[in-house]
Chains A and B, each alone.
Chain A
Amino acid sequence: MKRYKIYFLLLFAIGLTVSPNLLAQKDLQISKVFEQYGKKKGSVMVELSNEALGDYDLTLFKSIIIRNDPSAAKLTRICLSKDEEGAKKIKQVIANGVPTSIYLQLPRKGKDNRLILFNESRSENRLTLIYIETVNDSENVLKLLLKKK
């Protein structure tokens, strides 16, 4: 019994050292979208952290583009509706009663500000979901990100 307690403590210690970025994202419902559709055909998933995003001063950038998958769109909207709780809605565009564009500013996790950007194009059967973590001000980051193309 003592041996098992020791193993448990060791595993717990290892778990605590897992990157805080992973922990910050894992509590969100949208992580399901990345997990389920990230490596599927018809999807493009990107994950960038720290070094590669030096120009943009972001801690974490994670995006997914899914084409021709209505079930993915449905899941994404459900996840967003749950992650919206407690979040600040920066922007929302609704077309025919369905949100097509949503920008959310999530509650801070430690020193990181967190943003979710969502866009759905029905005409092109495509949805785009982006998750960002940054230590900088959300306003400045959005200006920078969305102006640079």
Chain B
Amino acid sequence: MEAIRLENLIFKYNRKAEPVLKGINITVKQGECIAILGDSKTTLCMAMCGVIPHLIPGHMDGKVYIEGRDSATMGVKDIAAKVGVVLQDPENQSFNLNVEADVVFAMENIGVPPEEMENRVQEALEIVRMTPFRYTASHQLSGGQKQRVAIASVLAMKPQILILDEPTRELDPMGREEIFEVLGRLKKSGITVIIVENDPPRLAKIADRMLLIRNGQIKYDVAPRQFFKYLYGDDRIKLPQVAQAYLDIFGLSEQTNLPMSVKEGVEMYGKILSHY
């Protein structure tokens, strides 16, 4: 079953401007994890979560279907209950004085009964490994912890779809690791994850499909292994080191089976070396 479907989506910030999205067609199935790279990816995210056309002014053509319903006909509350969005800056997503208050905030807004909130808070904090910080003041958390709280507050709403717009952009390497670890767990839980990031090697570990947008159009929409084969030699996209080294040594051919992790690399290099 499809979670989100974009049909010929065209968007420009004003009528006279050049479109930033030019006829985008994407179908995201339930439980799938897709990664988006390239240009206008945040705009695409905003269209997927209904912020465009509801909250950001502009001129939109085409349709966005969220679980089969046209987002233009849905209210912000209906969309928020189905699609959880995590933005770039963790500081801007924490409005309350402590972690617990931040997590319950979204649930209160959509009218979740108070009896149900306790279980949801515990579950969400457990997923992001923030249970020990439940009563900690928000300003005492690190960037990575704040972003994990932002994810927990969205998860507590029990959305079917999770959209993350560069969630690790403002974080240090440790914070990035924390977030990708959480995303890995979320993917296993079966939730639909759409992630916009600038770190293709890390994305490759969790994504089922990777999309590249160039000049407002989808250039590639393929599995990570194929994605890196297409983009070998493109300086703007960083390949996983093990894949880059493999391609540099053995070159690219139709039959190339690209290693995506160190484990796969060791196996492949081991086989090759065993021939000598």
Q: Do A and B come from one complex?
A: no
Residues of A within 8 A of B (CB): none
